[in-house]
Chain A
């Protein structure tokens, strides 16, 4: 017994020493969106290599959780795939007495993916066709709305099986935000959000769940993140943008979507870039944001976060494309650098 007690005392002491040593570095805690998690963890890792005294911890608990935790004040910064709405901004202001800032970090996009036996070529989708399919009004693959833009493809007369995300996600937010912009009926009936009341379809959990469901069910269509589609070699279709061109999503066409709205970017960066102007812009894309409070009581923390943000806008952007995230356009970076001064 004595020996066991001795051992545990030593272990306890060691643990305490180690935790003290770890905490000697300035530790900053953040939580939120899962979609940018791969690039965030890469950034925090790289940044710590350069600035060993700053340690940034990030929990990818989802955008909703990120917004809640930063509002509660349990983390130093939040992260979200959708911007906070006015109500949430007010809740933060009321609780803390100062505001919260949005900083776009990278870009993501959604792509339509499908499984139609006998069809191997990439399909072209108009906004009307996508909205019609997801509203349950277009029910057959050989509907004129789909056939008209896919000359030469033999589309079967089979029922369309719609697959969507069942878990609340930024991917769904982008998809429904886009459909709300291109279809009034969608906007009034379904609306946009991380989870919505789907008129038709089956739900799959996560990108992998949607992909699995599509692979399993012939004549199905769904949407997944561009990154997921690229890294898993999932074929996906092109979407007609506001200039009338069919654009296939890739890093360049997603960055082009962001560049198209850069000139009209509001000062708080809360902007939706779905269905943007521009010949080459891919229409179903979005920023993802870090949520940073305007005021920090701890000056060291404030400086560390500002230091990280300026690094992220410069060197950090070089890590995005190897992880399949589209980088921020120059105009947006310049504007964000100005906004850094707002953090006090």
Chain B
């Protein structure tokens, strides 16, 4: 994909005009101004890390690396550990992707390859609308619809059929990891569909035509040629969804049960990093409590950073072998 986006430089040979002349024509000014805008992104990121690091000094010194493995979160006796929150954040994100990725990509394939243009465009409008709905609305949807459904039907059903797995055991409260994952899935699906559809539609026509000319059916050309060609972009849409799932606060806190537990059961109530920060920050009176919350922010930042790095790596790897399989 990266290769198709490089545009040959349109500017005349650099250095052909004097600096003053370029300044007069605005080139130099435009360069400077846009550079400043671009630099501000780096600056904000650096500032963010610096602030989080600085303001969590007390908690970092007190707990050290134990912060990552301690399971207790006790604001009264000032014992803080991030493990249940890291666990909750990762589990809900994974559950949401397990649900959202097949659904989202399937829908994107239908919209890009199989649906008539009019249907595709109309649906795209609704998908963009869904992506713009504020997360508190999804939270309400979760509280009023998903939670009762989970408690009364889905969780008892899962327990009956798959109850031998520790994943689906324990009492069904309605709220918990699974519910939070489902609500997150509903929230991130529009991102996956929207981006994947764009990517699939930008696959050159000749790719499809070549496959069809070789005698492939429509589905074979889609599944074996178009989708592998667009793989990098589809991966990008998944990581965008992952980032959103990791950082989502409002909708998660409304349905996750807000209890810092680590349990193999998806029915169990849990807690996520973003949710605990939002819940406790305003009323954190103790310095250590506040700083532990800021350190949690740092942990979330690192987690996102790390996963983004992994995502980049995956994209690089798959784009290398991606072109190989597309040719094969």
Chain A residues with CB under 8 Å of chain B are: 34, 61-65, 67-68, 82, 85, 88, 159, 161, 166-170, 190-198, 201-205, 209, 212-213, 216-217
Contact = CB atoms under 8 A, between A and B. Distances in A.
B76 A65 contact: no
B171 A197 contact: no
B74 A64 contact: no
Interface in B24-64: none
A127 B41 CA distance: 56
Contacts of B102: none
B258 A64 contact: no
B284 A168 contact: yes
18 contacts: A61-B282, A62-B282, A65-B282, A68-B290, A85-B285, A159-B171, A168-B283, A191-B77, A194-B75, A202-B173, A203-B257, A203-B258, A203-B259, A203-B279, A204-B258, A216-B143, A216-B148, A216-B174
B73 A197 contact: yes
A217 B278 CA distance: 24
B128 interface: no
Given A62-B282, A168-B284, A195 B174 contact: no
Nearest to B77: A191
Contacts of B281: 64, 168
Tell me whether chain B's interface is mostly helix, strand or loop, or mixed: loop
B175 interface: yes
B220 interface: no
A228 to B, nearest CB: 17
Contacts of B148: 216
A182 B254 CA distance: 31
Contacts of B280: 167-168, 195
Tell me whether chain A's interface is mostly helix, strand or loop, or mixed: loop
Closest 5 pairs (CB-CB, A-B)? A168-B283, A203-B258, A62-B282, A166-B258, A191-B76
Contacts of A88: 285
Contact of B269 (A34, A202, A205): A202
B244 interface: no
B175 A202 contact: yes
A102 to B, nearest CB: 14
Given A195-B75, A203-B257, A167 B175 contact: no
Nearest to A190: B76
B259 A201 contact: yes
Nearest to B144: A212
B253 interface: yes
Nearest to B278: A167
Nearest to B260: A197
B312 interface: no
Contacts of A65: 282-283
Interface in B213-269: 253-254, 257-259, 269
B151 A216 contact: yes
Given A67-B285, A195-B75, A202-B269, A217 B173 contact: yes
B175 A195 contact: no
Contacts of B269: 202-203
Contacts of B93: none
Which residue, A161, A169, A216, has most C-beta atoms of chain B within 10 A? A216
Given A67-B285, A203-B259, A216-B147, A168 B279 contact: yes
A65 B280 CA distance: 11
Nearest to B253: A205
Contacts of B278: 167
Which residue, B143, B174, B279, B282, has most C-beta atoms of chain A within 10 A? B282
Contacts of A201: 259
B283 A167 contact: yes
Given A212-B143, A217-B174, A197 B258 contact: no
A213 B175 contact: yes
A197 B77 CA distance: 9
A168 B293 CA distance: 12
Contact of A205 (B72, B254, B284): B254
Contacts of A170: 283
Interface in B159-174: 171, 173-174
A64 B257 contact: no
B279 to A, nearest CB: 4
B202 to A, nearest CB: 37
Contacts of B257: 202-203
A298 B143 CA distance: 50
Contact of B283 (A85, A169, A204): A169
A196 B74 contact: yes
Given A168-B284, A197-B77, 7 more contacts: A85-B285, A88-B285, A168-B283, A195-B279, A202-B258, A205-B258, A212-B143
A195 B283 contact: yes
Nearest to A161: B173
Given A191-B76, A201-B259, A216-B147, A166 B279 contact: yes
Which residue, A170, A195, A202, has most C-beta atoms of chain B within 10 A? A195
A159 to B, nearest CB: 7
Contact of A192 (B72, B76, B171, B175): B76
Interface string B146-190: 011001000000000000000000010111000000000000000
A202 B259 contact: yes
Interface in B67-96: 72-77, 79
Given A203-B259, A205-B258, A168 B282 contact: yes
A148 B254 CA distance: 36
Contacts of A167: 278-280, 282-283
